[in-house]
Structure 1
Amino acid sequence: MVSTKPVTTQLLSAIGKLDQFTSFEEESDSRQQHIIAAFRVLAQLGFVFDVAANLSVRNQ
């Protein structure tokens, strides 16, 4: 069983917003946080197997 945080309105409203970054490290951290959030949302919806093959983020 995957232990995840509950999907909240705040989490869902944050998806799709464009952020402004002052450094590459900030942008990279934000990408990692967003992909983690996407995995958590899918896990809450019951998609826990083979999800990694279908989600990707380009981190330059």
Structure 2
Amino acid sequence: MSHQGALYLVHNQCPHRGGPLKFGYVSAEDAIICPMHGNAYPAESLIARPTTLRLRIEEVSR
């Protein structure tokens, strides 16, 4: 996913029920939406404090 010019790798497992995020989508508000239950993980929150939501995300260098 890209956010504010940076590229991020998001691991393919929702912390809620372990569902595959690859079948979800990124909303217009830059939130990752889980396909199983519709949980939203806003990019701004994930980048600022990634361990809070337990969704694994890493910045990728270009």
Give TM-score, length-normalised by structure 1. Answer: 0.23
More strand by share: 2
Bigger relative contact order (CA 8 A; separation at least 6):
1
Select the structure of larger CA radius of gyration. 1
